[in-house]
Amino acid sequence: MNRSYELMFIVRPDMVDEDLNKLVATLESTVTSAGGTAKAEVWGKRRLAYKVSKFNDGIFVLFMIEGTGAIIHEVERRLRVTEQVIKFLSVRTDEELKRLDKIKKLRDAKKKTSAAPAVAASAPAPAPVTPEAGTEAAPAPTTV
C-alpha cells in the first residue's frame, strides 16, 4: 500500500554541493527503483537549535516520498550508514492529509448551508395571511 511520507535529514555543513547532489540522487534512485516516487528539496544551510555531533550548523534536505514502508526502511538504513548525515526524521503524512481534506469538505458544506438562508432572506417575503370574514382566530391556550 502506497503511503506518503516526509523525510527530513541534516548533513554536515562542510559537505560539498556535488557530494550533496550525489547523495540526493542515490536516495531518489533507491526510492524509484523500489517502485515509489520521490521529490527532494534542499533547504540550504541553517543554524541548529543545539549541537549535533559537534556541529552548530547543517544543510537541511526534505524528501517527500510516496511508497511502502519497506522503501522508507531502506532509505533510513542508508541514512544511518552515511557518515555525512548527522540527523534524520521520517513522518507519515497520508493520515494528516486525509484529515485536512475531511475538514475542508466540512467547511465547504457549512458555507453552502449558510449561503442558502441568505438567499432566502433576499427573496421577497410572502404577504401575511388574513382570516376570512366570519371566521375568528382561536385564542391561544393559557397554561396555569
Write down the residue that cell numbers 520521490 correspond to: 38
3.30.70.60, 3.40.109.40, 3.10.20.30, 3.40.50.720: which CATH number matches 3-96? 3.30.70.60
Strand partners, 64: 6, 39
**pLDDT tens across 86-120, in order?**
999 999 888 877 788 888 888 888 888 877 665 55
| pTM as predicted | 0.66
pLDDT tens digits along 124-134:
656 666 666 65
CB atoms within 10 A of CB 70: 11
Domain layout of the chain by residue ranges = 3-96
- Residues 97, 70: Cα–Cα separation, whole Å: 21
C-alpha cell, 128: 401575511
Q: What's residue 65's pLDDT?
A: 92
* Whole-angstrom distance, CA of residue 90 vs CA of residue 62: 10
